[in-house]
Homo-oligomer: A and B are copies of this chain.
Amino acid sequence: MMKKLVLTGAAGRLGSYLREPLSKMCQELVSTDIVDDIGKLYEGESYAKADVAVYDQIAPLLEGADMVVHFGAIVDEKPFEELLGPNFVGSYNVWEAAYQHGLQRVVYASSIHAVGMHKKSDFIGIDAPHKPDTFYGLAKCFSEDLASMYWDKRGLEAVCLRILSCAQVNNTRALGSWLSYDDLIQLVTRAIDTPSVGFSVVYGVSNNDRAPVDNAKASFLGYRPKDNAEQFAEKILAEAPPVDLKDPGQMHHGGPFAAVDLGESGVASMNIVNDKKTT
């Protein structure tokens, strides 16, 4: 059992799901986010308010930790200026602090939007070249390259989880891209318990019949998702609007992010409407 884990973005939708399982994998879980309070804590968990964009706030929390699970960032498309602090500098801060404090590994919430402009009919593997669809995706590219460099130059490991869409299944794209909460937890668990990972990338997607990405080259991580969005297919397909074959959002992995203009208020929120889980 690990001594200490740090979770950034602990107040976010995905982060809030991870707090309990992470608390069971270590003696001490330090959850952090920019809110004042995240409510009732799990056994072994403490909460510290900190802004990942500010090195002096985030770095001290990593002291003595084994690994950091880095989910803290703005989770929608925004103008570059707004993402620069939390999504770009924030990643630098986390990796640099992890190195300075001798952590073994960063587990990072990357995203399909790092490769979102690939065509959906291309079954991209984890080695598909970067092809971001938004500034949001560009920040994921930046962080993955940063992760690669810290491994090559300084021996700090990283697993970059390219999450497709972790929210209620309510459109045809999600029949392929869905990551269930249980599979998210398995994914993060494998990213932590695999003894050595170097620099690794893995798609965060459930065992959907229509999953459009290829995790074969990350097989050694042992991530074997169990859920399958096909259970929702009949209803979703019956209610789906007519397809517009000229809509870039239909034809690319990034979905709606492939269609919005750069920096425009994106569609992450659309995807999670009706999601009963509130954190």
Binding site for B on A (CB under 8 A): 1, 80, 84, 88-89, 92, 96, 104, 117, 119-123, 127, 129-134, 137-138, 141-142, 145-146, 148-150, 152-155, 157, 172, 175-176, 193-198, 200, 208-212, 214, 216-224, 230, 233, 237-238, 240, 243, 245-246, 250-251, 261-262
Task: Report which of B142, B176, B251 forms a contact with A222, defined as CB distance below 8 A.
Answer: B176
How many Å lie between the Cα of A1 and that of B238 in the bound state? Answer: 7
11 additional contacts (CB under 8 A) given A196-B245, A212-B219: A80-B96, A117-B148, A123-B219, A130-B148, A133-B153, A172-B195, A193-B233, A194-B210, A210-B219, A210-B220, A210-B221
- Cβ A121 vs Cβ B240 within 8 A: no
CB-nearest residue of chain B to A148: B131
**Is the Cβ of B195 less than 8 Å from the Cβ of A250?**
yes
**This chain: copies in complex:** 6
B129 and A129 form a contact (CB under 8 A): yes
Closest to A212 in B: B220
* Interface-centre pick from A117, A122, A150, A230 (highest chain B CB count, 10 A): A117
Question: 7 tightest A-B contacts by CB?
Answer: A210-B222, A209-B222, A212-B220, A117-B152, A123-B217, A141-B145, A195-B243
Nearest Cβ on chain B to A154's Cβ, whole angstroms? 7
In the bound complex, residues from chain B placing their C-beta under 8 Å from that of A198 are: 119, 121, 251
Give the residues in chain B near A246, CB-CB below 8 Å. Answer: 155
A260 to chain B, nearest CB (A): 9
**In the docked arrangement, what's the CA distance between A132 and B175, Å?**
33
Q: What would 23 A/B residue contacts be, using CB atoms closer than 8 Å?
A: A117-B148, A117-B153, A121-B198, A121-B220, A123-B217, A123-B220, A131-B149, A131-B152, A132-B148, A138-B145, A141-B145, A150-B262, A157-B245, A176-B220, A176-B222, A194-B210, A195-B237, A195-B250, A196-B251, A209-B223, A210-B222, A214-B219, A222-B230
Which of the residues B138, B209, B230 comes within 8 Å of A146, measured between beta carbons? B138
Q: In the complex, what residues of B have CB within 8 A of residue A221's CB?
A: 210
Selected from B176, B197, B262, the residue in CB contact (under 8 A) with A121 is: B197
